[in-house]
Structure 1
């Protein structure tokens, strides 16, 4: 009888351990970000008016636990205007991730731009479709920027992508 109890205890313990998630956990992602409007003392600048700006975030998330992680993101931006386009900026975007539950994540990011601007970006992210090996997400970044002899600005943007 003792053998059976030991066997059952080992079986239950191994089953419950295999059902747990292992941390740290690494995930990569790619996406597209569209700035919608930028507000500053110089006025309001709407994307799609006389120019178009798009960014392509590429990042890696390192989850320390189910609730907290670190993220490193790089975002090249392309600007199209007057019939031509060019890479206009590169954003280096490290930050902290906090899981809010129900597929929502908050990212608090520091921001360093090759344009000479710097600041921070709070981001609210929501997983829209979760598959076995990937998930599709939508996010609302709100960058706050300073420096480079330009007025303080804040932008509202929309981002979507895939994490794997």
Structure 2
């Protein structure tokens, strides 16, 4: 009788609860623009100035494969020994899970600097824990407006999801 009880108890621990949807997750990260190309030429971060962003967002997964994300990114710019918060990005988008643990995020962009555009992002979880995960991402922001030339940027992002 004791052996049968132990088997039922162990069997209960072996089963995983299925994920229910919608599922809400959040994340924070650090974003480093690497290089920006526009008709004025190629401009690189880390040379004459340094820009860093701190993305914070909420993901609402509708199903295992598709979801909605809302992100806000304040940016700090350091140049000539002075630093300042110079821009805030409002960044809603659609999440699409791909094969091999990748996620494609397609965002629209509204910046307080007056710029707007879109940002495709390729994201990959590199370490998954019980209550969090670490990820890397490659955003490719494309921006227009505010009397500036159209631009395309390559960036690197690292973050933690929970």
- TM-score (structure 1 length as normaliser): 0.89
Instruction: Find 1:74's aligned residue among 54, 63, 72.
Output: 72
Aligned-residue CA RMSD (Å): 1.4
Matching of residues 47-66 of structure 1 within 5 Å: 47-66=45-64
Q: 2:37 aligns with which of 36, 39, 61?
A: 39
Partner of 2:121: 123
Which aligned runs of 4 or more in structure 1 are off by greater than 2 angstroms? none
Hey, what does 1:85 align to over in structure 2? 83
Choose from 99, 103, 106 the match for 1:105. 103
CA–CA distance in structure 1, aligned partners of residues 57 and 85 of structure 2: 18
Instruction: Provide the C-alpha distance between the structure 2 equivalents of 1:79 and 1:61, rounded to a whole number of angstroms.
Output: 27
Shift of 1:28: 0.5
CA distance in 2, matches of 1:63, 1:96: 10
Tell me, which stretches of 5 or more residues in structure 1 are unaligned?
Answer: 1-14
Q: State the Cα distance separating 1:42 from its structure 2 match.
A: 1.0
Q: Distance in 2 between matches of 1:148 and 1:84?
A: 24
